[in-house]
Structure 1
Amino acid sequence: MPRIRGGSLAEHHELVWADLADATRRLLLERDYDSINLGHIAAEAGIARNTLYNYAPDKAALVQALTERASRPMLERVTAIAARTAEPATDRLRAIVEEVLEASTDQALQPMFRPGAGRLIDEMAKAPVGPFHAIVAEVENVVRDGIAREEFRDVDDVPLTVQLLSGAMRAAAERIGRDPDAFVATVRSAREIILASVAR
């Protein structure tokens, strides 16, 4: 029977998830998603390949689970920003843009910001729950609040508007992934485009 790390089985699982996340980050720094297999992840994490099946049935499910777990701190920060209703909606939207693009520099979150890069990314983007859904819901709330306060123009279709704005965010994140030195300029441009799209 494998040795249990930590004080409980739950703690053991959290430690293994952390190892898998670190291993996946390192691998994504070296190669693209499609060239990584379960054997690579297991070897990099220092665990037996058959152990991975206790966490996910295949690579896509494993990386999706890792991406969703890695996104939790960012989602908590985005939720906290959106909830700062004493602040203008413009300031909150600007802060969310910066927060999400900062998170896009984390290799563990790169699959989330690379739509079209494979089946995994397409599935994550279409999922009714998860990182994409949570971010979109918070941004929709901020946009609606901005409209109610007359900071933003009265758009006909808030979900469609936010979906179109998310395309600009993904394009910015993809550029940052290709050229990390362009981070500051890309954040500035993304912020300007998104705020101009909803400004009165």
Structure 2
Amino acid sequence: MPFGCVTLGDKKNYNQPSEVTDRYDLGQVIKTEEFCEIFRAKDKTTGKLHTCKKFQKRDGRKVRKAAKNEIGILKMVKHPNILQLVDVFVTRKEYFIFLELATGREVFDWILDQGYYSERDTSNVVRQVLEAVAYLHSLKIVHRNLKLENLVYYNRLKNSKIVISDFHLAKLENGLIKEVPAPLSLSFLPHTPRRALQVSSSPRP
């Protein structure tokens, strides 16, 4: 679907809320974060499941800035270890950001349950994160919120890759995110815990 001609700061052109609900079924809230609510969403045409982050503009300037920031950064990136942007809708009252759905657990939760991480698994996670971070740095992007809660197993398979999520605090090195033309609808897809990690020969999560 082609890009629209409005920018994220445009005050005259907005999606209608019905455009969101015509395309997606939004389920119940599965998580509430500082700036947004997170839903599991189903594309009515393809049946594919996604994650939807809904930011309420009425919640203040910081929330609006976080939403614009996440959209602007995610439009710039495409990497296997970064959760990819799928679709964006901007209504008068809300920002809807649709992302790939990662069905695995946060690395943080897995460690809390298991109490340890094998040396092999640790090196595998670190390698993937460093590759993604190197990619971001090559684009002059700094994530600024890397923590185990934002490292997620993409699925529940033993060999699942790790993906980095949550880019609302990310910044470009020069501090400026270009006002990239924002689509009315956009579709495209091809604090770390202080507890020390114990080394073990346990199986992968």
Q: TM-score, normalised by structure 2?
A: 0.28
**Greater relative contact order structure (CA < 8 Å, 6+ sep):** 2
Greater strand content: 2
Structure with higher Rg: it is 1
- More helix per residue: 1 or 2? 1
